[in-house]
Structure 1
Amino acid sequence: MNAAHAAELAFAASAPPGAAGGSGAMMTQVLFFAAIFAIFYFLLIRPQQKQKRDREQMLTALKKGDRIVTTGGLHGTVTGLSDHTVTVRVADQVKLEFDRSAVGKILVGGTADKDA
C-alpha cells in the first residue's frame, strides 16, 4: 500500500456518515425558509396590502356631503375637495381644511361604514 492510498483511506474514514448526501439537508433548509416566507406573506404582507388598497378606494370615493370622522376624532361634513385636501364643516359657519390622509372613515347614516 502506498502513502497516497493510505491518505485517501484515512480521509474517507474520517468523513461522517451521510456527508455525501448533503443536498437533502440543504433542501430541508430551503423548504423551511420558503414556509416561513409564505407564513409572513399570508399573515402580514397581504392583509396590509388589502387594507391599504381599501383605504385608497375610500379616499378616492369621498364626495361633497359625506359625513366623515378624521383620524383625530373630529366629526364633520365634506363641503369641498381638491387633489390633496378636504374641506370639512364641523359647525355652522366653521369650516376646516384637512389633508385627505387625515380622513379616518366615512359615516353612513350616523354609523361607521369602514374602520380605518
Structure 2
Amino acid sequence: MFISSAFAQTAPAATATGGGIMGSLTGMLPLVLMFVVLYFIMIRPQMKKQKEHRLMIEAVAKGDEIATSGGLIGRITKLHEGSVSMEISPGVEVQLQRSAIAQVLPKGTLK
C-alpha cells in the first residue's frame, strides 16, 4: 500500500476541524493582501487620472489652446458631439476626436 491506514484515517478528521478552515484562510491571506496593494497602487490612481481627463475633455471650449496625443498643437475653432475642429496654422483645420486631446495649454502659448 502507498498510504498507511493510520495516516488515511486521520486526514479527513484534520480538515473537518476549525483548524483546517483557519489554515485555508491563512493560505488565502497573501492573495487578498496582494489584491489590496494592487488596487491602491495601480487601479485607484488610474481611475482618478481617467476621471480628471474626462472632466478636462468635457470642459474644453472654443478658443482653447490644446495639445493632442499625436503631438499637434492648435486652437479649437468648433465643438461637435464627439469631436472638435482644431486650427493648427492659419487656414488649416483638422478634425479630431475629443479623446485625442492630451492637455489644455495655458492661454497665449500659441503665437
Determine the C-alpha separation between the residues in 2 that align with 1:100 and 1:13: 67
Larger radius of gyration, structure 1 or 2? Answer: 1
Aligned with residue 11 of structure 1, among 3, 6, 19:
6
Residue 63 (structure 2) aligns with:
65
Give the equivalent residue in structure 2 for 1:7: none
For 1:71-90, list aligned pairs within 5 A.
71-90=69-88
Q: Map Cα deviations across residues 41-77 of structure 1 (whole Å, 9 max, x no partner).
A: 1111111111111110010001001000111111100
- Distance in 2, Cα, partners of 1:71 & 1:12: 65
Provide the identity percentage: 33
Q: Which residue of 2 aligns with 1:39?
A: 37
TM-score when normalising by structure 2: 0.79
Query: 1:95 is matched with which residue?
Result: 93
Secondary structure at the counterpart of residue 95 of structure 1: strand
TM-score after normalising by structure 1: 0.76
Q: Unaligned stretches of 5+ in structure 1?
A: 1-9, 111-116
Local SS of the residue matching 2:33 = helix
Rounded to whole Å, the distance in 1 between the matches of 2:100 and 2:59 is: 15
Structure scoring higher RCO (CA < 8 A, sep ≥ 6) equals 2
What RMSD in Å do the two structures reach over aligned CA positions? 2.1
Q: Which runs of 5+ in 2 are unaligned?
A: none
